Amino acid sequence: MATVELTKDNFDTLVSTNDTVFVDFWASWCGPCRTFAPIFEKVSNERPELLFAKVDTEAQQELAASFNIMSIPTLMIIREGVVIYAEAGALPEQALSQLVDRAISLDMVQVHKAIAEGSAAG
């Protein structure tokens, strides 16, 4: 599946209807973003069962601000409504593929349990 455009209008729907969402925050003027874009697209085409989405930080400033995006490109992974990864910087293809594998193999029962325990402690 090709990447989809993520906006403030479709964000909630796409995140709630997809178990795992890989999000590339980018801008057209950003050199590293232009370098990372074909890598992100290639990996998305290799994993059509997963949702890969792009947020144009210029067009979607409110959405980018809601995630405190300070540097681009920033890759974010949202799984079962939980941000499990958020890092700035372009990744090489092999590193992105490995990150995808780790994200989908993550034990979300443990993640939700840790979040619940953290919420109860605070």
Which residues have a catalytic role annotated? 30, 33
CB count in 10 Å sphere of residue 54: 21
Count of C-beta atoms within a 10 Å radius of residue 61: 13
| Cβ–Cβ under 8 Å, residues 27 and 13 | no
Tell which residue, 90, 66, 89, has the closest CA to residue 7.
Answer: 66
